[in-house]
Copies of this chain bind each other. A is one copy, B any other.
């Protein structure tokens, strides 16, 4: 079998030990953070969901990015207990920790884009209750992860 994607054998050589560079090597492209965004803010969790996101990622790129994100420990893949032909992708804690990065990108995007589609409620909380918003989002994700880890433990 051919070695492709980010398998251990095709390890990318890291360009430097700067943390910015480290981050960019894991998610510095036009798609990875959109997938993380969909998981953080839109509760999307399976392949088809991501495919229907408004940016229209193509299926081969999606497969590749999911593999990379999983390989880098940002997401985890589970069989869907309620539908055996589906899989559920969830953020790990490492992936969940990208929330502050995403939030700052959203603030910047809102400030400099003429036309942003952000629900007023989220916009308000970004301005006046960012800590509460972070906590709430994190809790929601953790709950989902815990629920699935349990159900998965029961199934296996």
Query: Which of these binds chain B: A13-21, A43-51, A59-67, A78-86?
Result: A13-21
Residue pair A16, B94 in contact (C-beta under 8 Å)? no
Query: Which of these binds chain B: A106-114, A135-143, A148-156?
Result: A106-114
* Cβ-neighbour of A24 out of B16, B22, B30 (below 8 A): B30
Residue A129 lies at the interface, judged by CB distance under 8 Å to chain B: no
Residue pair B104, A104 in contact (C-beta under 8 Å)? yes
Residue pair B33, A115 in contact (C-beta under 8 Å)? no
Residue pair A33, B22 in contact (C-beta under 8 Å)? no
**Which 7 residue pairs spanning A and B have beta carbons closest together?**
A19-B109, A15-B55, A22-B113, A16-B54, A17-B117, A22-B109, A101-B104
